[in-house]
């Protein structure tokens, strides 16, 4: 019998991990609550991969990535990304993707300019996956736990598409469940990305690192009738960004141009827009763009929306985009729980205090490949498949009927108002109190059906994640990278060039917070 690897999460990182594990000889089971590829944040990506090119060396890439991460990246992970970047691009080309090399990045071109490049990427990878022998996918499966036996990961537990409590054994498990952008009231993530991977990791006994660092993208559509998605760059020079009294925000704050502000001053730009929004709406104005440009990417992506951007400005806002924090992995992609590997946004270390543009997709390919290969090799050497499996534990459905959607909206508001673009000690303490109250109400509420049952689990993960963000944020007494404190605006390298570590105390429902000096080892 072949040894089995289970991959949790069918985004780009999970699909690549599954692909590589199968090529190493393992039987692979890919599980996701949604569809393969298309239901993930990867499908919404702009198709840009950072990394060395013919005119941009590995040392430059490493230096720039660490500078953007404000020096708290795990340097060995950055070095691995630099060393493996060309192989990642070769893999993309091997499955038929059109990859173009730029000065310091690579871009995947969509065959249809009206289709998001991320969609083209996940479709190609998914197509390569489903043709492999020994590969199987289960959709509609909600993972609640990593199973353990004798101190090693040995499978997963969760709810099948019909709601049945199900346990599936494996010789190795890969966690690729993504981040938690949708815990925020304003975000550009898929609406179900609410920190489930972080909670599953903690339930398995792992710590969470650098959870205070959340990247906000400055320009996300905020009109109620438009999807909450980022305004894809690059931005035409004729596009304007205006505040509620018609002022050009780029000119007002001396930002150069919109593209420069997004690339070089992203956090400052988000903070500026956040402040402007306190006085009224901010609008993106495309009316002066030449008509011929609307057929070219990225403006072509706007053509399918129910808004005539050529004649009417659209409201925009900063929004939660990416989490730099997560679980710790080693050079093999293995977590501190033997047999459990992790890759993609759920893992921490590559980005430091802020993510360089293009490194999210590169991370998926490089560390997805490493996790897949390593998990397969671990499985081949493991005896866990024959071990006795723990029995499934039914989910708690006690309590009285509750309005889960109202609680979810409340938690998103707490995240945005108390753990958002600019934070303060007073606001974060208030947020922790509010989250605690929301968690108590959620615990007392009983789902009326299977849909509510899953929603309760989602909201529980969201509240858990916001609690982690606020706890880590309160401990950091400075501003650094994506983490901005209005009451402590300066970066303090003497005292705070450190990574935060959260360990969960289930008995008291609290996180214990500590900080470690930035180290060189993985």
DSSP structure string for 360-409: HHHHHHHHHHHHHHHHHHHHHT--GGGSPPPPP-PPP--SEE--HHHHHH
Choose one of 272, 291, 318: the last residue of a domain.
Answer: 318
For residue 257, tell me if it sits in a domain: yes
Give residue 387's pLDDT: 43
CATH code for the domain in which residue 421 is found: 1.20.58.100
Helix H segments across 187-287?
196-203, 249-252, 258-264, 266-277
For residue 71, tell me if it sits in a domain: no
Give residue 304's pLDDT: 81
Please give the average per-residue pLDDT across 47-52, as a whole number: 97
pLDDT at 417 over 50: yes
For residue 357, tell me if it sits in a domain: no
Q: Which tens digit of pLDDT belongs to each residue from 229-283? A: 999 999 999 999 999 999 999 999 999 999 989 988 889 999 999 999 999 999 9
How much of the chain exceeds pLDDT 90, in percent? 90
| pLDDT confidence tier of residue 393, bands split at 50, 70 and 90 | very low
Choose one of 272, 290, 318: the last residue of a domain.
Answer: 318
For the chain, helix (H) and strand (E) counts, in that order, are: 13, 20
Q: Which range (110-119, 262-271, 395-404, 475-484) has the least confidence?
A: 395-404
82/289 Cα distance (integer angstroms): 37
Q: Which tens digit of pLDDT belongs to each residue from 305-341? A: 889 999 999 999 999 999 999 999 999 999 999 999 9
CB 3 within 8 A of CB 173: no
Please give the average per-residue pLDDT across 375-403, as a whole number: 63
For residue 423, tell me if it sits in a domain: yes
CATH code for the domain in which residue 289 is found: 3.90.700.10
Q: Which range (261-275, 343-357, 477-491) has the least confidence?
A: 261-275
How much of the chain exceeds pLDDT 70, in percent? 96
For residue 344, tell me if it sits in a domain: no
Give residue 507's pLDDT: 87
Give residue 165's pLDDT: 95
Give residue 1's pLDDT: 67
Choose one of 283, 318, 353: the last residue of a domain.
Answer: 318
pLDDT at 396 over 60: no
For residue 266, tell me if it sits in a domain: yes
Q: Which tens digit of pLDDT belongs to each residue from 184-233? A: 999 999 999 999 999 999 999 999 999 999 999 999 999 999 999 999 99
256/103 Cα distance (integer angstroms): 21
pLDDT at 385 over 80: no
pLDDT at 415 over 50: yes
Select from 427, 423, 417, 509 the least CA-distant residue to 468. Answer: 509
What is the CB neighbour count within 10 angstroms for residue 119? 18
Count up the domains in the chain and report the number: 2
510/10 Cα distance (integer angstroms): 31
CB 121 within 8 A of CB 101: no
Average pLDDT across the chain, whole number: 94
Rounded to the nearest angstrom, the gap between the alpha carbon of residue 433 and the centroid of all alpha carbons in its chain is 26
Question: Which residues span the domain enclosing 290?
Answer: 218-318
Q: Which tens digit of pLDDT belongs to each residue from 129-174? A: 999 999 999 999 999 999 999 999 999 999 999 999 999 999 999 9
What is the CB neighbour count within 10 angstroms for residue 86? 14
Give residue 509's pLDDT: 87
Please give the average per-residue pLDDT across 447-454, as a whole number: 94
CB 22 within 8 A of CB 370: no
pLDDT at 46 over 90: yes
CB 368 within 8 A of CB 13: yes
For residue 410, tell me if it sits in a domain: yes
Select from 74, 39, 491, 11 the least CA-distant residue to 324. Answer: 74
For residue 451, tell me if it sits in a domain: yes
425/473 Cα distance (integer angstroms): 9
């Amino acid at each position: 019998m072949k040894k089995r690897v289970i991959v949790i999460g069918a985004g780009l990182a999970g699909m690549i991990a599954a692909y590589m594990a199968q090529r190493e000889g393992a039987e692979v089971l890919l599980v996701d609550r949604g569809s393969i590829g298309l239901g993930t944040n990867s499908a919404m990506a702009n198709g840009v991969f950072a990394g060395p090119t013919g005119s941009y060396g590995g040392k430059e890439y490493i230096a720039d990535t660490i500078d953007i991460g404000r020096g708290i990246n795990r340097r060995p992970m950055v070095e691995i990304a630099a060393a493996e970047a060309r192989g990642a691009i070769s893999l993309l080309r091997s499955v038929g993707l059109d990859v173009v090399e730029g000065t310091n990045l690579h871009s995947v071109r969509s065959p249809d300019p009206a289709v998001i490049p991320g969609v083209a990427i996940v479709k190609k990878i998914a197509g390569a996956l489903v043709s492999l022998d020994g590969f199987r996918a289960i959709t509609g499966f909600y993972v609640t736990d990593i199973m353990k036996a004798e101190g090693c990961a040995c499978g997963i537990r969760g709810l099948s598409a019909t709601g049945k409590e199900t346990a599936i054994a494996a010789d190795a498990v890969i966690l690729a469940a993504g981040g938690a952008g949708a815990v925020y009231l304003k975000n550009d993530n898929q609406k179900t990305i609410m920190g489930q991977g972080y909670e599953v990791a903690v339930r398995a006994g792992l710590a969470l690192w650098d959870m205070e660092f959340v990247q906000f993208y400055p320009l996300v559509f905020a009109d109620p009738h438009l999807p909450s998605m980022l305004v894809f760059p690059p931005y035409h020079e004729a596009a304007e960004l205006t505040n509620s009294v018609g002022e050009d925000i780029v000119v007002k704050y001396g930002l150069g141009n919109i593209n420069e502000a997004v690339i070089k001053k992203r956090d400052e730009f988000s903070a500026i827009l956040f402040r402007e929004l306190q006085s009224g709406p901010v609008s993106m104005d495309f009316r002066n763009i030449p008509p011929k440009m609307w057929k070219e990417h990225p403006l072509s992506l706007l053509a399918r929306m129910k808004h005539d951007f050529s004649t009417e400005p659209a409201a925009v806002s900063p929004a939660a985009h990416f989490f730099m924090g997560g679980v710790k992995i080693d050079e093999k992609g293995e977590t501190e729980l033997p047999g459990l590997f992790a890759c993609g946004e759920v893992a921490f270390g590559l980005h430091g205090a802020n993510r360089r543009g293009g490194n999210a997709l590169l991370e998926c390919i490089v560390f997805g490949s490493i996790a897949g290969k390593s998990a397969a090799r671990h499985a081949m050497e493991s005896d866990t498949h024959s071990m006795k499996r723990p029995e499934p534990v039914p989910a708690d459905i006690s309590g009285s009927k509750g309005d889960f959607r109202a609680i979810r909206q409340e938690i998103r508001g707490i995240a945005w108002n108390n753990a958002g673009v600019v934070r303060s000690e007073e606001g974060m303490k208030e947020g922790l109190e509010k989250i605690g109250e929301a968690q108590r109400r959620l615990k007392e509420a009983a789902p009326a059906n299977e849909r509510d049952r899953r929603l309760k689990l989602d909201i529980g993960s969201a509240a858990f994640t916001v609690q982690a963000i606020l706890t880590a944020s309160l401990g950091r007494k400075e501003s650094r990278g994506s983490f901005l404190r209005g009451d402590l605006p300066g970066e303090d390298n003497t005292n705070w060039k450190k990574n935060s570590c959260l360990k969960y105390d289930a008995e008291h429902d609290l996180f214990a917070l500590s900080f470690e000096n930035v180290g060189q080892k993985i």
